[in-house]
Structure 1
Amino acid sequence: MSSLQPLRAILDAWTGTVAGTIVAGLERMVSPRAVRLIEDEKGGFALEGGKPENGVTDLAFRDGQFSATNLAQVVRGSRVEIVLQPQRFLFRPLELPSRAADFLDGIVRAQIDRLTPWSAGEAVFGCSAPAASGSDGITTLIAAAPRKLAMGYVEAISGLHPSAVAICTDAPGNGRIKVFEQRSRGAVDPARLSRRLQLVLGIAAVAAVVASVFATYLADSLSTQESELERQIAQRRAALRAGSDGGERSPLALLERRKYETPASVIVLESLSRVLPDHTYVTELHLASNKLQIAGITRDAPSLIPLIEQSQHFTRATFYAPTTRSSSDPGERFHIEAQIEPRNVP
C-alpha cells in the first residue's frame, strides 16, 4: 500500500487541477450574480450587488436568522459573500520561503493549530496573497475565526437557496481574505468533480483492460482459424499436384476415365445412321446412360436386330414393344432398344 501512495497523490493532484480548471471555466462562462452582505460596526448589514427594484430593507442578523424584506429574491441563485468585521477574527502573520507559495493552503492548514487556539477542524481560516519579504521569502497574513461563528451565518443564508456562500473579512492593509466557502448541491464542486474524474478514469482503465483481453482472445481465435485454412489450402494444393502427376485417383484421371466410359451422343448417332438401311426412318430416339431406345418405320423390322448388333457400338438389341402396321403407314412401326458399348476413340 505504501508504494501506491505516491501514485495516489499524483492522481489526486492531477484530477484536482483538472476539476479546478473546469469549474473556473464554467464560472467564467456562467457566472452567478454576486451579492455581498457587509457587516457594519453596530452589527447590522448592508447589501451590495442586489437589484434596486427588489427593495431590500431592515437587513439585520437576529437569533440566527437574517431578517429583511425581499432578501430571498435577491439571494436565490446568487453567490453570497458575507463580509464580517475584522474584530471577529484572529490575525497572524506567517513568513515562509518563496518556494512555498505554490503550497500555501496546505502549509497554513498544517500550522493552524500552532498559530491559533483552534485546530483545523474547529476553525475557518484563510490567508492573504503572499508578498515578497527579503530576497528569498514571502509574508502572508492568516485570518481565523471559530467555525461555529461562521456556520451560524452560513446556515442562516443557505435556507434562501444561494448558489454559493462565502465568509470573508477585510484585513487592514492586506485586502479581503476569504476564510470559508460552501457551494450548493446544484453547483459544480471541484472536490466532487475530482472524485468523479477519478471514477471515470478507473472505469476507463477497467474497460481498457477488458478490451485488451478480448482483443488478445479474438486475435488468438483468428490466428487458429487462419492456420486451419492454410492447412486445408495446403491439402487441396497437394491433392491438385498429385492429380496433375497422373495418379489413378486424381481428378484428371477420373475425368479421363469418365470420358472413355460414357458413350458420346455424336458417335452413337453416327454409328446408328450407318447400320440402318435407307428404307428405315427413326421418329424417336432416347439415350439414357448406356441404353439406346429408338422407334420408327421400316419395311422389314426383324432385319434391324442383326444389323444393329453387327455394329461394335451396340449389343443385346431387342424389341421392347410389339411391331405394328397400319394402312396409313408405309411400313412396319418398330420399337428397339440396345446396350451401348462406349467407344469414344476412332
Structure 2
Amino acid sequence: MSSLSSLRAIADAWTGAVAGTIVAALERMVSPRVVRLVEGGTGAFALEAAKSENIPKEIAFEDGKFASPDLAQIVRGSRVEIVLRPSRFLFRPLELPARAADFLDGIVRAQIDRLTPWSASEAVFGCSRPSPHSSESITTEIAAAPRRLAMGYVEALSGFHPSAIAIATEAPAGARIKVFEQRSRGAVDPARLSRTLQAVLAFAAIAAVVGSVAASYLADSLGAQEAELDRQITQRRAALRSGGDGGERSPLALLERRKYETPASVIVLESLSRILPDHTFVTELHLAGNKLQIGGITRDAPSLIPLIEQSQHFTRATFYAPTTRAPSDPGERFHIEAQIEPRNAP
C-alpha cells in the first residue's frame, strides 16, 4: 500500500506541475482583462480597470450585491480581483525549514486548523512569498478568513460571468496575499486539467497492458501456425522422397510420364525442318495439345501429306482448308493439320 501511495503522490505532483505549466502558458498567450475591486474603509469598493472611461470610480456593496448597473458589462469575460481590507483577516507568521519552500501550499493547508479558529474547509487562506529567516529556515505570513465572507462577494459577481474571481488582501508587511480563486467553467482549471492528465495516463497504461497481452497472444498463435506449416512441409518432402523410388503413382513418376507423353515443341520444329522440302515455306504454325496446324507456300502441296505421315512424329495428316494459288504467289498456298505422336525419349 505504501508503494501505491508513493506512486499516486508522484503522479499527482507530476500532473499538477504539467497542468500548472499548461495553464500558465495559456494565460500568457490569451490574457483576459483584469478588473480590480479594492475595498475602502467605508466598505465601498474602488473600481480599477484597464479602460477607465465611463466606469464608476466607486461601487457600494449592499445586501449581498454590488450597486452598479454597468458592472455586468465591465466584469463579463474579465478576471476580477477583489482586494479586501486586512481587518477582515487573521494573520499568523509561520517559520518552516528552507526545504519546505516547494511544498508551502500543502503545509499551510495541513496546519490551518492549528493556526486559525477554522478548518481548511471553513476558511479561505493563503500565504505570502517566503523570505529567508536564517540559513536553514524561512518565514511566511498566513492570511485567513471565514469562507462565508468570501463566498458572499463571489456569488455577487458569478452572475456576471467573469472568466475568474480571485480574493486577496494586503499583509501588514505590504505584500498582497491571494486567499481564494475560482475560475469559470469555460476557463482552464489546473486541478481539473491535472485530473484529466491522470485519466489519460491511466488509459494509456491500460492500453499498453492490453496491447502487450494481445501482442503476446498473437505471437503465440503465429508461432503455432508456423510450426504447423513446418510440419506439413516436412511431411510433403518425406512423401516426395519416398515416392521417388519408381512407384507408378508417385509425384516423380507422374511428372516423368507427363514429360514423355507431352509433345516437345522443339522436337516438332526439328522434325518439320527435316521433312519439308526446300521449296516449301511455312508461314503459320499452331501447336495445341497433340494437334499441329501449319500453313505456307509450296510447289507441290499434295506431296506434303505423305512426307508428313512418313515421319514417326506425325499421323493422320490432312488438308483442313482448300489449297489455293494466287497470280502473285510463287507456289500453292496450303493448310495442313496432323496429330503429333510424342516421342521425347532419347
* Other-structure match for 2:234: 234
Q: How many equivalent residue pairs?
A: 291
Q: What is the Cα deviation at residue 193 of structure 1?
A: 0.8
Distance, in Å, in 2 between the alignment partners of 1:72 and 1:114 is 40
1:223 paired residue number: 223
Give the aligned partner of residue 322 of structure 2. Answer: none
CA contact (8 A) 2:47 2:58 kept: no
**Residue 253 of structure 1: CA displacement?**
2.2
Distance 1:54 1:237, change over 3 A: farther
Contact conserved, 1:124 with 1:147, CA < 8 A, in 2?
A: yes
Offset of 1:67 from its aligned partner?
1.1
- Shift, 1:229, TM fit: 2.4
Q: Which amino acid aligns with 1:63?
A: D
Matched residue, 2:83: 83
Residue 141 (structure 2) pairs with residue 141 (structure 1): yes
CA distance in 1, matches of 2:2, 2:177: 37
| Consecutive unaligned residues in structure 1, runs of 5 or more | 274-287, 290-340
* 1:151 maps onto 2:170 in alignment: no
- Write the distance in 2 (CA, Å) between the matches of 1:344 and 1:173: 116
- The answer to whether 1:178 aligns with 2:178 is yes
| CA deviation map 1:146-194 (0-9, x unaligned) | 1111111111111111111111011122410001111111111111111
The answer to whether the 8 A contact 1:168-1:178 is kept is yes
Work out the CA distance in 1 between the residues paired with 2:96 and 2:150. Answer: 28
In the alignment, does 2:162 pair up with 1:162? yes
SS of the equivalent of 2:125 reads strand
Which amino acid is the alignment partner of residue 32 of structure 1?
A: P
Q: Is the 8 Å Cα contact of residues 127 and 141 (structure 1) preserved in structure 2?
A: yes
**Cα RMSD (Å):** 3.6
- Report how far residue 143 of structure 1 moved: 0.8
Do the aligned residues in 2 keep the contact of 1:128 with 1:174 (CA within 8 Å)?
no
Equivalents in 2 of 1:259, 1:91: separation in Å? 108
1:180-212 Cα distance to aligned partner (Å, 9 max, x none): 111111111111111111111111122222222
**Alpha-carbon deviations, 1:1-34, whole Å to 9, x = none?**
4542111111111111111111111111111111
Tell me how far apart the structure 2 counterparts of residues 166 and 199 of structure 1 sit (CA, whole Å).
28
2:61 alignment partner AA:
F
Cα distance between partner residues in 2 of 1:188 and 1:106: 22
- For residues 27-52 of structure 1, the C-alpha deviation after alignment (integer angstroms, 9 at most, x for no partner) is 11111111100011111111112423
TM normalised by structure 2 equals 0.73
Given the two structures, how large is their TM-score scaled by the length of structure 1?
A: 0.73
Q: Is the 8 A contact 1:123 1:147 kept in 2?
A: yes
Match of 1:17 in 2: 17
Paired position in structure 2 for 1:104: 104
Contact 2:90 2:143 in 1 (8 A): yes
Which residue of structure 1 aligns with residue 118 of structure 2?
118
Per-residue deviation, 1:54:
4.1
- Over the matched positions of the two proteins, sequence identity in percent amounts to 75
Aligned position for 1:33: 33
Which one-letter code corresponds to 1:55 in the other structure? I
**What is the deviation of 1:141?**
0.7
Q: Which moved further from structure 2: 197-206 or 257-266?
A: 257-266
Q: Please identify the structure whose Cα radius of gyration is greater.
A: 1
How big is each residue's C-alpha offset from its partner over 1:115-168, in whole Å with a ceiling of 9 and x where there is no partner? 111111111111111111122111111111111111111111111111111110
Displacement of 1:232 after TM fit? Answer: 2.8
Matched, 1:130 2:117: no
Is the 8 Å Cα contact of residues 77 and 162 (structure 2) preserved in structure 1?
yes
Is the Cα contact below 8 Å between 1:77 and 1:162 reproduced in 2? yes
Q: What does 1:150-299 correspond to in 2, within 5 Å?
A: 150-242=150-242, 244-257=244-257
Deviation of 1:262 (Å)? 8.3
- The letter for the 2-side match of 1:184 is S
Displacement of 1:231 after TM fit? 2.5
Kept in 1: contact 2:46–2:57 (CA 8 A)? no
In structure 2, the gaps of 5 or more residues are 276-288, 291-340
The aligned counterpart of 2:298 is none
Distance across 1 between alignment mates of 2:62 and 2:138: 41
User: What is residue 44 of structure 2 aligned with on the other side?
Assistant: 44
Determine helix, strand or coil for the equivalent of 1:91. strand
Q: In structure 1, what is the Cα distance between the partners aligned to 2:263 and 2:82?
A: 113
In 2, the alpha carbon distance for the partners of 1:112 and 1:18 equals 27
Quote the Cα distance in structure 2 between the aligned partners of 1:42 and 1:259.
118
Equivalence for 2:65: 65
SS in 2 for 1:56: coil
Kept in 2, the 8 Å contact 1:38–1:45? The answer is yes
